[in-house]
Amino acid sequence: MSTDPTSGPYRWRWLILVVMIVAEVMDLLDASIVNVAGPALEESLGASSVGLQWVIGGYALTLGAGLVLGGRLGDRYGRRRMFLTGLAAFTLSSLLCALAPNIEALIVFRLLQGAAGAILLPQGLGLLRENFSGPELTKVFAIFGPVLGLGGIIGPVLGGFLIEGDILGLGWRAVFLINLPIGLAALAVAARFVPKKPGDRTVRVDMVGAGLVMASCALLVLPLNQGQEDGWPLWTWMSMAASVVGFGLFALQQRRTAAAGREPLVTPALLRKPAFTVGLGGIALFFAGLIGTQLVLTLFLQIGQHFSAGEAGLGNLPLAVGTAIGGAISGAFLADKIGRKVLQVGPVIQLAGAVLLWFELDGVSTSSFSIWDIAPGIAVSGIGAGMVIAALFSFILAAVDDDEIGSASGVLSAVQAIGGSIGVAVFGSVFFAQAKTGDFTAGFHHALVGQACLLVAFLAITFLLPAKGRPEEEQHGSVGPASGSVPAASGAEQGVTV
């Protein structure tokens, strides 16, 4: 069987799409599937609140810190090779997570799993671009996006089902073991049917820049996770200050790397575009609030209202359904019709949902509580979030040039993941600070206040973004310097994950 895609349309190209979807859904599922595992981890491994935050947020941290580097590695060494490497590493790290003897080991293995995801995730869309073109490529993305979005929706539900089902007495470990048969099957099919195409060995991988990004991210998230537990000692503030210096050094190093004729991780011209840099801030603010609040919802249901893992997973459905509705409304016609205003209507609706949820929480009775008591507020918030998620990346990318789309998309996706990690750290700390007193409703209230502040800041930023978004076909069609990076549309796909 020939695997040369240059001699015409590759015979097995649709099988490649299936493998890419399976592998990347597996990756995205693991961003949210452990959200409902908190009580099980506490009982089994003695996980503290900080440990739980690291198990959830650590994955997003290493994923975000490595995404742009992962795209570069695909450019240099070939997307097939890096896809297989990332998939094998992700499957192995999933097994290690399932075998973790204590919470410290589980955190380390989750960090490794996120790093493997950073290698895996950027390659899939690049491989699809290599094997599809024209109308077929448009059709591929029409299939790819919604299916990936489903991964974020079913993550907590599937996690709850696996934990509550206690299959073979595995408990929470089944959440990670489910990746083994899926990963091994995807590996076998990908190794057989994904055609070989060499990378470009002239591409230089900027390891210094990658190291600066990773160190800066760690210096930021570490004190946010540990600060509340340790009483915010001096080292936490020094660490956060050092992270700011680190990001500044990264920007300077990228500029010097480009000036010396070498290839930086991030096109320096991007950082000179005010709308793009402001958009990065907007991405971080929005997803920190969204993902942090969704974590608090799950914690409130399980710890505060004593929901089982399965019930807590189902409790996320109003948010998921609302997000899907808002995304459909925004993506189908609203963004094209009213332009940037969709990014302003969305957070206003989210704020309305937060206000409604606030009053619903005031009427909560532990003895008779049902998810339906707070479902309207959660659903309204989800509708507003979906409106933003479906359109946000395209409006930010409208500020960049065509040859910068690949690099810009990778940066946006990385900032989205890191913002989510920060949201887990901050909102988790806020909730657990109140949970220690037994006042879980106050913890949720404080989280809603935090989200409202972030939404107001995000709303102000939207006025600085371009009035019109970049057409979707341009987002998908361009292959920039980091062409393997996740494209703009993945903002909607990842947005409902936690």
**What share of the chain in percent tops pLDDT 90?**
36
End-to-end CA distance of the chain: 41
Residue 403: predicted pLDDT: 72
Cβ contacts of 353 within 8 Å, gap of 6 or more: 322, 377, 378, 379, 380, 381, 382, 383, 384
Alpha helices in 330-374 (DSSP H): 335-338, 342-362
Picking from 108-112, 170-174, 403-407, 471-475, which range would have the lowest pLDDT averaged per residue? 471-475
Residue 7: predicted pLDDT: 54
Neighbours of 46 (CB within 10 A): 10
Structure tokens at 55: 């198990």
Residue 263: predicted pLDDT: 86
Q: How many residues in total does the chain contain?
A: 498
- The answer to whether 346 and 385 are in contact (CB under 8 A) is yes
Residue 412: predicted pLDDT: 87
Distance, CA of 153 to CA of 476 (rounded, Å):
23
Nearest by Cα to 281 from 393, 419, 387, 391:
419
Picking from 135-144, 191-200, 394-403, which range would have the lowest pLDDT averaged per residue? 135-144
**pLDDT band at 489; cut points 50, 70, 90:** very low
pLDDT digits (tens, 9 = 90+) for 337-370: 888 899 999 999 999 999 999 999 887 766 678 8
Neighbours of 182 (CB within 10 A): 17
450 pLDDT above the threshold of 80: yes
- The answer to whether 490 and 126 are in contact (CB under 8 A) is no
Looking at per-residue confidence, does 402 or 444 come out higher?
444
240 pLDDT above the threshold of 80: yes
Residue 150: predicted pLDDT: 62
Q: Identify residue 126 by its one-letter amino acid code.
A: G
Structure tokens at 289: 């609030």
**What share of the chain in percent tops pLDDT 70?**
89
Residue 33: predicted pLDDT: 79
Q: What is the mean pLDDT of the chain?
A: 84
Cβ contacts of 76 within 8 Å, gap of 6 or more: 199, 200, 201, 203, 204, 205
316 pLDDT above the threshold of 90: no
- DSSP annotation of 100: -
Nearest by Cα to 415 from 287, 224, 251:
287
**pLDDT band at 9; cut points 50, 70, 90:** low
**pLDDT band at 488; cut points 50, 70, 90:** very low
Stretch 479-489: mean pLDDT, rounded? 35
pLDDT digits (tens, 9 = 90+) for 181-235: 999 999 999 998 888 888 788 888 889 999 999 999 999 999 988 887 778 899 9
5 pLDDT above the threshold of 50: no
Stretch 406-432: mean pLDDT, rounded? 88
Nearest by Cα to 469 from 403, 387, 407, 414:
387
Looking at per-residue confidence, does 114 or 366 come out higher?
114
Give the best-scoring range by mean pLDDT among 115-119, 463-467, 486-490.
115-119
Residue 16: predicted pLDDT: 84
Residue 253: predicted pLDDT: 93
Residue 146: predicted pLDDT: 63
